[in-house]
Structure 1
Amino acid sequence: MPWCDPCERFWNFNALTLEGKCPRCGIVLDMSGVKQSESDKSELTGPSSSDAPQVGAPWHFWLFLVAASVYLVWRAIQGIVMLF
C-alpha cells in the first residue's frame, strides 16, 4: 500500500487519484516498491476499451436458490394443509 509522509497514513489504490496522487495533500505517492495486481491497475487507469465479458453467478448460488425455493414451496403447502 502506498504511504503518504505528510498525511502519515497508508492509502488504498482505489482512494488515490488517477495520477496516483494523495487525495488529501495532492503529492504523487511513490509506488515503486508496491506490487499491483492487474485489477488494481485497471481501476486506477479506468476501464479499457476491451472489457472482459461479465461472469455470471457461480453454480452453488443457483443450487442454493433452487433449494431455498423448494423449501419455501414445501412450507407453503404445509401451511395451507394445516388451515384445512
Structure 2
Amino acid sequence: MPWCEQCDRRIETDELTADGVCPQCGTEPLEHRRSPWYFKFMLVASIIYLGYRAFQGVTWVVHHL
C-alpha cells in the first residue's frame, strides 16, 4: 500500500498518476510498513494484564476499608 510522506496519507494504487507519483504533491510514495503481529499481540496482552491488575487493586482497596 503506497504511503506519501509529504501528504502523510495512504494512497490507493489506482489514485497514482501514470508516472507512479502522488496526485496531490507529485512525490514518489513509499511502501508503508505495517506493525508486526507480535507488537499488536503484546499491546493487547498488556492492556488485558493492566486491566486485571487494576481490578485486583480496586478489590483489595474495597476489602481493606
Two-structure CA RMSD over aligned residues (Å): 1.1
Overall identity of the aligned pairs, in %: 33
Q: Which runs of 5+ in 1 are unaligned?
A: 1-48
Q: 1:55 aligns with which of 17, 30, 33?
A: 33
- Deviations 1:6-36 (CA, angstroms, capped at 9, x unpaired): xxxxxxxxxxxxxxxxxxxxxxxxxxxxxxx
| Distance of 1:61 and 1:52 partners within structure 2 | 22
Alignment partner of 1:66 is 2:41 = no
Q: Which runs of 5+ in 2 are unaligned?
A: 1-26
Amino acid at match of 1:52: L
Give the length in aligned residue pairs: 36
SS of 2:29's partner is coil
The structure richer in strand per residue is 2
Runs ≥4 in structure 1, deviation > 6 angstroms? none
1:50 to partner: Cα distance: 2.4
1:52 to partner: Cα distance: 2.1
| Distance of 2:37 and 2:28 partners within structure 1 | 26
Alignment partner of 1:83 is 2:61 = yes
